[in-house]
Amino acid sequence: MIFYRPNNLKNLFELLENSNATNYFLAGGTDINLQTKNIPKNVNIFYISHLNVLRNITEINGHISIGSTATFSDILHSDYLAKHLPFFQNSLKFFASPIIQNLATIGGNIVNGSPTNDVSPLLLILDAKLELISKNNSRIIPFNSFYRGYKEFDLQKNELVKAILIPKNAENNLETFYQKVGARNSLTISKITVAGLKFIENNRIKKIKIAVGSVNEYPRRLVNLENYLITKRINEIKKDELTKIIAVEITPISDFRSDQNYRFVVCLNLIEKFLGINF
């Protein structure tokens, strides 16, 4: 293992280019320190937490840009977020626990790529984008296209998530919903997470976004469900149709923490709760 502490981004990419081992980025360390067993001996570790350019929370072109190494406590204490994206901020209040919030970073949560990660369902419904950088390139992609499979991402070799961009007005005038179901109220891993945004006018759904976590190989928007719901009146929604669509869009599994059937039914229940329907 060789440890690198780059002086700046330019230096980081130079070092990365010359590295011929497996590369790990170290930010908060809350994952890497749990995986010491699985980390091969021949790895290069690049420390990035000290690079402020990766950590800032700022306002750019109508977006709030959250640096990838911003910790969850940075997010919870950000005035920008409190002002523009209070729903996003409040939803993360019970992430892990305070002593982990002070270390763990939003970028780490995203690129760990766990299907259970807390932040992705929120980013999906808020139309977030990712700013990715590499030595000679910088690109912005919709967060929606980042995950491609279980722990598979749209991320090139030696490419880094620089920031998460959320439209400043993403929550404006919308009804919001976020519920994470875990085994306990703190220090818990999600069994099901449902996040939603909606706008209802004259009892008709004018705008709807729903994303779920822990019930697919990666968190995703339920696009077919959204298409079904849009322009419908609440009382036109049929239980069997809703169930049928969700049954195609989510593929929960049984594991030590929960069961397939439970996950399915509770996911359905929470979506109904979000829609405000009582069959």
Partner 1 sequence: MKIKFILNKNEVEIDANPMTRLIDVLREHFQLLGTKEGCGEGECGACTILLNDKPVASCIANLIHAENGVILTAEGIAKTKIGTLLIDCFDETNAVQCGFCFPGFLVSSYHYLKTDGEPNLEKIKIALSGNICRCTGYQKIFDSVLMACEKLDLS
Partner 2 sequence: MKKAVKKFDARPKLNGSWKFLDDYSYENMIFGQLFYSTCHHGIIKNIIFPKNFDLNEFTIISAKNILGKNIVPEPVCDQPFMAEKEVMHFGQIILGIAHSDKKTLRDFVENIKVKYEKLSAIIDPKECLDNERNHFGKEILINHSNNEKNTGNYHKNIYYTQHQEQAYLEPQGAIAIYDETKKTMFVRVTAQCPFFVKSGVETIMGNAINEAIIETSEGIGGAFGGKEDFPNLLAGITSLLAYKSGKPVKIVLTRNDDIQITTKRHPSRIEIETWTNPLTQKIEKCNIDYRLDAGAFQTLSPVVMARGVLHVGGSYAIPNIKIRGRLFKSNTPSNGAFRGFGVPQALAAMEAHIDQIAIDLKIDPYLFRKVNLFKIGDEFPTTQKITENNLIDCLERVIKNSNYLSKKKEFAEWNKDNSNKKGIGISVGFHGGGFTGNGEKVLKSELKIIIEKNANVKIFVANTDMGQGAHTTLSQMFYETINHPKEKCRVQLPNTSKTPNSGPTVASRTIYIIGNLLQKLAREIQKKLNFENLESYVATHQNEFPREFRKVYIPDKSIVFDENNYVGMAYKDYSWAACVNEIYFHADTYKLEIIKSWNVFDIGKVVNQKIAEGQAEGGILQALAYANSEFFYKKKFGRVRNFTDYTLPTTLDVPEIDVEFIHTDNKIAKGLGEIPMDFPAPAVRNAFLNATGIFVDEYPLTPENIFNIIRSKNEN
Q: What residues line the site for partner 2 (CB under 8 A)?
A: 37, 94, 97, 181, 183-189, 254-259, 261-262, 265-266, 269-270, 272-273, 278
183 binds, options partner 1, partner 2, none, Cβ within 5 to 8 A by partner type: partner 2
165 binds, options partner 2, partner 1, none, Cβ within 5 to 8 A by partner type: none
Q: Which residues bind partner 1 (CB under 8 A)?
A: 1, 3, 5, 26, 28-30, 33-34, 45, 47, 49-50, 73, 93-94, 96-100, 102-103, 185-187
How near is the Cβ of 65 to partner 1 at its closest, in Å? 23
Nearer to partner 1, 32 or 155 (CB): 32
How near is the Cβ of 171 to partner 2 at its closest, in Å? 24
Contacts of residue 104, Cβ cutoff 8 Å, sequence gap at least 6:
28, 30, 71, 72, 95, 96
Q: What 8-state DSSP symbol labels residue 34?
A: G
d(CA 248, CA 241): 11
Beta bridge partners of 71: 105
How near is the Cβ of 156 to partner 2 at its closest, in Å? 32
98 binds, options partner 2, partner 1, none, Cβ within 5 to 8 A by partner type: partner 1
Q: Extract the tokens encoding 33.
A: 């320190």
33 binds, options partner 1, partner 2, none, Cβ within 5 to 8 A by partner type: partner 1
Q: Extract the tokens encoding 153.
A: 């991402």
Q: Extract the tokens encoding 219.
A: 């968190």
The answer to whether residues 179 and 194 touch, using CB atoms and an 8 Å cutoff, is yes
Nearer to partner 2, 77 or 93 (CB): 93
Strands (E) across 150-224 are located at 152-153, 160-167, 175-181, 192-201, 204-213, 220-221
Nearer to partner 1, 9 or 103 (CB): 103
Contacts of residue 11, Cβ cutoff 8 Å, sequence gap at least 6:
none
270 binds, options partner 2, partner 1, none, Cβ within 5 to 8 A by partner type: partner 2
Closest listed residue to residue 66, CA positions, set 139, 129, 134, 13: 129
Nearer to partner 1, 28 or 252 (CB): 28
37 binds, options partner 1, partner 2, none, Cβ within 5 to 8 A by partner type: partner 2
Upper half-sphere CA count for residue 115 (Cβ side, 13 Å): 15
How near is the Cβ of 231 to partner 2 at its closest, in Å? 26
How near is the Cβ of 5 to partner 1 at its closest, in Å? 7
How near is the Cβ of 173 to partner 1 at its closest, in Å? 29
Contacts of residue 102, Cβ cutoff 8 Å, sequence gap at least 6:
71, 72, 73
Nearer to partner 1, 72 or 218 (CB): 72
Nearer to partner 1, 24 or 262 (CB): 24
In degrees and rounded to multiples of 5, residue 74 shows phi and psi of -55, -45
Vertex 86, ends 55 and 173: CA angle to 5°?
Answer: 130
How near is the Cβ of 112 to partner 2 at its closest, in Å? 14
